[in-house]
Amino acid sequence: MTYNPELLDKAKRHPEKQKNPDRPAGRKPDWIRVPAPQGKIYQETRDIVRKQKLTTVCEEAGCPNIGECWQQKHATFMIMGEVCTRACAFCNVATGKPEALDKLEPLRVGVAVMQMGLKHVVVTSVDRDDLPDSGADHFVKTIQAIRMKSPETTVEILPGDFRGRMEDIDSVIAARPDVFNHNLETVPRLYPTIRPGARYFRSLRLLERVKELDPQQFTKSGLMVGLGETKEEVGQVMDDMRAAGIDFITIGQYLQPTPKHAPVEKWWSPDEFKDLEKMARRKGFLMVSATPLTRSSHHAGDDFAKLKAARAEQLAKQAAE
Ligand code: SF4
């Protein structure tokens, strides 16, 4: 597998991973290859991101879809800095001691959304376990700033788990994002090695809480496959998600950012992704996106429109019964 040189440079930002042996992922299968990012609109998106001094997970995570997404003016903003307090084994965001929060960042995100003319925006963040509220108030302010600067834009948030503190979670739910997205990322058996700072049932509980407080809010969660999970384990996670009322599941292939990160244990084929999609549909999700290049925020705007249509159809069916 060819690694992005910019990401390899960033390996030094993962001091905790330097003791890991190199475990290169081998050759990427053909279905993972994407064209190099380019194009006028891609450059315009890049200029706005730079000018507003914003961080995107598209760049920080080395997302393979950046060329396609930015060419369509779709970027996922990452708030609260570039340094995360956790050290997940799959993630390329730098680990360390973060800077103080930038109080003007919510406004700058709002301005960028307005300038880009986005119909739908996804906002994610680093984990901020150093802050008393894990950054909940900063999320609320960002949602409010987007609504102020660009009232027609629908807002999808993709936050961390707020360390499971209900008062913080409740305050973010009360800001009424259109979609509350929180990724389970992997199966519970792999949490200690892949997501050591997180807890599977804490993440699930967060998503369940959204539905308890505001059943109209759409909930969404994602999984990466290729980390050593079995199909049965993925099925169990789907059942858990449905029990928590999650509307939309995304499943994509894990790609190793550097040889120090968790190795790719398996390349799931496009046909196997189709099987996962069928399984998820049988389990009753309103929406499913399962392809090798699916990412939590990939096509998020189009998918939000489909999600709303799927709910309307479901409600119409229930009313006719
Ligand atoms: S899929 Fe998401 S993270 Fe990747 S480039 Fe698109 S918007 Fe950014």
Which residue among 65, 92, 250, 293 is best mutated to probe the pocket of ligand 1, counting the most ligand atoms within 8 A of its Cβ? Answer: 65
Which tens digit of pLDDT belongs to each residue from 19-61?
A: 888 888 778 899 998 888 888 999 999 998 999 888 999 998 8
Candidates 202, 292, 303; CA nearest to 247 is 303
- Closest by CA to 247, choosing from 180, 159, 199, 292, is 180
| Tokens (6 digits) for 208 | 């369940």
Query: CA-to-CA distance for 246 and 102, rounded, in angstroms?
Result: 32
Atom of ligand 1 nearest to the CA of 56: 8
Inter-residue contact 316 to 276 (CB < 8 Å): no
Name every protein residue with a CB atom under 6 angstroms from any ligand 1 atom.
57-58, 63, 65-66, 69, 74-76, 295, 297-298
Q: Which residue has the least CA distance to atom 2 on ligand 1? A: 297
**Greater confidence, 19 or 292?**
292
Question: Residue 128 — left, alpha, or beta (φ > 0 → left; ψ -120 to 50 → alpha)?
Answer: beta
**Residue 37 CA, ligand 1 centroid: distance in Å:** 12
User: Does the predicted model carry a pTM greater than 0.85?
Assistant: yes
pLDDT for 221 beyond 90: yes
Mean pLDDT of the chain: 93
Decide if pLDDT at 12 tops 80.
Answer: no
pLDDT at 113: 94
Name residue 238's amino acid: M
Give the least confident one: 63-67, 127-131, 160-164, 248-252. 63-67
Ligand 1 center to residue 228 CA distance, Å? 24
Sign, CA torsion 152/158/159/161: positive
Confidence of residue 243 (pLDDT cuts 50, 70, 90): very high
How many angstroms is it from 320 CA to the middle of ligand 1? 39
